[in-house]
Amino acid sequence: MLMFENRSFDNLLGRLYGPGEVAAFEGVLGKDLSNPIPDWAEDRSGRQTVPFGIAETMDTPSPDPGEEYQHINTQLFGVIDPEGNRGVPAEQMAAPFNAPPPGRAPTMDGFVADYISAFWAEMGRQPRYHEYAQIMAGYTPDQLPVVSSLARGFGAFDHWFAEVPSQTFTNRSFFHAASSSGFVVNAPYRTFPLQNTAETVFERLEASGLTWRVYVDAPSPLPFTGLIHGARLRQRFATHFVTTDRFLEDAAAGRLPTYAFIEPNMWHGHNDMHPPTAALVQGFSFDAPSSLLGGEALLAKIYNAVRSSTSSDGSNALNTLLMVVFDEHGGTYDHVPPPAAVAPDPAAPPGQMGFTFDRLGVRLPAIAISAWLPAQTVVNGVHHHTSVIRTLRERWNLGRPLTARDAEAPDLAAVLSLDRPRDPQDWPDVNAQAVPEFDQALVPPDAPLTPLHRHAPRLPRTRRADGSHRAHD
C-alpha cells in the first residue's frame, strides 16, 4: 500500500477516460459541473458559478483548502452554521460545526464557499475570483503521466471513498484499525499518539505469524502511522519502521513482508501530493517545488521496484498487489456524493464534535497494480479504506472483524480477475517528469514549529537500510 495525501478523484483521475471509452466510468468529461459563488463573496467577477476546469500549475490549489470535519461539512452540504464560522480557522468554529440538518443528502455544492472562507481565515482577506476558482480545477492525464499510465494500464476504482469526512489522522487510523477511537480531527495533536487505543491489523498479522513493515520516504523524520497508533505500536518502532531505500532492497531480494505500507515524505519538501500547506512562514518556504511531481517520482520508483522483482522463492512481481491510495480529499472538489456508512461501534456514543461516523468521506483516487488485473479495468462498486483490512482478514484468516465498519467492507480479491498473469515485461513503462530539488537549507534550525511538531510526544524514528536512524526530535 502506497498512501498519498489530500486529493479527490475528480482532481487527479476525473479525466482518465472520456465518455464511451470504457464500459462505465464516473469521471468529469461530458458533464457540466460547477459550484455556486456565495452571495457574500466580495469578488464575483460578474459570475454566479465556477465551472470545473483544468489546473494551471502543478501546485493547485494554493493555499491549501480546509480539510477538517467542519470544512468538509460545508463542502458537501453548502452549510455554514452558525454564520460566525465564516472566515475563521476551523479550531475556532462553533457547534454544530457546519453539520447538515438531519436527513439532508450531500449536494457537493459548497466547495467554492468553503474555499473562500478558508482562504479568508488563512490570508486575512477574501480571495479574488481567479484565486478561489482554482478549487474547481483538476489535472489531465498529460499533467500526471505516471498516475494516469498506471491507472489505465491496470485498474482504477471510481467509487473508493475515505472512511470519515475529515482529515488525515482519523482516516489513516481507520485504514489500519477500522476506527479512530471516536476522534474526528487531528487536533489536539496528543490525542491520537496517546489515546487512540483501537486494535490494528498489524497486531492481527503478528498474531498469525505474518510479517509487516512500514516504509517511510526520507528525509521524513516521523512516520505518521507510528504517531497515529503510538498507544498500540510503540514497542515495534525499532523493528518495523524503516525508510523506503529498504523497500527497494526488500523488493529486489524478494523479502517484502506479507503487508507493506509506504508513506511518502510528509514534512518539509514533501512528496506526498498534498497541496501547498503554507506559501511562506516568516520568509522561509516549507513546501516542495511540486508535491505532485515529487509524488509521481516516488510512485514510479516503487512501481519499478515491484515490476523488476524476480525472486523465485519470495515476493516478486507476479505475487505482489500494489495499491495506490489517498488518505482523504483534503478539500479538493469531487462531484459524487459520499454514501452512508456503518458506525464502527453502533452502540457507542457520538464522537468528537458529535459525529456518529454514519457517513463516508469524499471519493478518492485508488489504483490497483497487479499481474492478475487486465489493463483499463474500472472498478465501479463502492469501496473504502477498510476494504484493505477486510482483504487481509479474508486472505490470511486473521479472525473476526476489527469493527462493524470492516465487517461490511467489500473484499478486493474479486478485482484480480485474470486466469494467467501478465508478463511484467508487457506492463506499461512510466517516466516521471523532472522534480525540482527542494533546498533543505530553506528550513533553518530556528524555524517556527507547526502545531504538530510542537505537541507531538516522543515518537518513532525511521531506520535506513544500513540500520542507522533518522532523528525525530
Domain co-membership, 115 together with 194: no
Asked if residue 472 is part of any domain, the answer here is: no
* Of the candidates 73, 153, 171, 143, the residue with the CA atom closest to the CA atom of residue 113: 73
Q: Which is more confident, 443 or 7?
A: 7
The predicted model gives 360-369 an average pLDDT of 98
Domain co-membership, 324 together with 265: yes
Distance in angstroms (rounded) separating the CA atoms of residues 311 and 43 = 60
Domain co-membership, 432 together with 408: yes
Amino acid 189: pLDDT: 87
The per-residue b/e assignment along 356-380, b for 16 or more CB within 10 angstroms, e otherwise, is: ebebbbbbbbbbbbbbbbeebbbbe
Amino acid 280: pLDDT: 38
SS (H, E, C) 185-205: CCCCCCHHHHHCCCCCHHHHH
Domain co-membership, 133 together with 157: no
Instruction: Report the percent of the chain where pLDDT is more than 70.
Output: 91
Distance in angstroms (rounded) separating the CA atoms of residues 365 and 326 = 6
Asked if residue 471 is part of any domain, the answer here is: no
Asked if residue 466 is part of any domain, the answer here is: no
Coil, helix or strand at residue 363:
strand
Domain co-membership, 419 together with 327: yes
pLDDT at 283 over 90: no
Report yes or no: 386 and 200 within 8 Å, Cβ to Cβ.
no
Quote the mean pLDDT of the chain. Answer: 92
Domain co-membership, 114 together with 154: no
The predicted model gives 199-216 an average pLDDT of 97
Instruction: Please write the tens of the pLDDT for every residue from 134-160.
Output: 999 999 999 999 999 999 999 999 999
Domain co-membership, 155 together with 80: no
Domain end residue (candidates: 138, 169, 198)? 138
Count of structural domains, the chain: 2
Instruction: Please write the tens of the pLDDT for every residue from 34-78.
Output: 999 999 999 999 999 999 999 999 999 999 999 999 999 999 999
pLDDT at 471 over 50: no
Task: Output the nine-digit C-alpha cell for 63.
Answer: 493555499
Domain end residue (candidates: 138, 167, 196)? 138
pLDDT at 344 over 80: yes
Instruction: Please write the tens of the pLDDT for every residue from 424-448.
Output: 999 999 999 999 887 766 665 555 5
Distance in angstroms (rounded) separating the CA atoms of residues 465 and 459 = 19
The predicted model gives 29-35 an average pLDDT of 97
Amino acid 55: pLDDT: 97
Phi, psi (degrees; rounded to nearest 5) at 26: -90, 75
Tell me which residue range forms the domain holding 429: 145-455
Domain co-membership, 183 together with 268: yes
Instruction: Please write the tens of the pLDDT for every residue from 89-139.
Output: 999 999 999 999 988 999 999 999 999 999 999 999 999 999 999 999 999
Confidence grade of residue 473 (pLDDT, cut at 50, 70, 90): very low
Amino acid 282: pLDDT: 43
Confidence grade of residue 472 (pLDDT, cut at 50, 70, 90): very low
Domain co-membership, 105 together with 205: no
Q: Which is more confident, 455 or 441?
A: 441
Largest pairwise CA distance in the chain: 66
Domain co-membership, 210 together with 264: yes
CATH number of the domain residue 232 falls in: 3.40.720
Domain co-membership, 119 together with 173: no
- How many CB atoms neighbour CB 178 within 10 A? 27
Q: Which is more confident, 279 or 373?
A: 373
The predicted model gives 443-465 an average pLDDT of 53
Distance in angstroms (rounded) separating the CA atoms of residues 234 and 228 = 10
What is the pTM for the complete model shown? Answer: 0.93
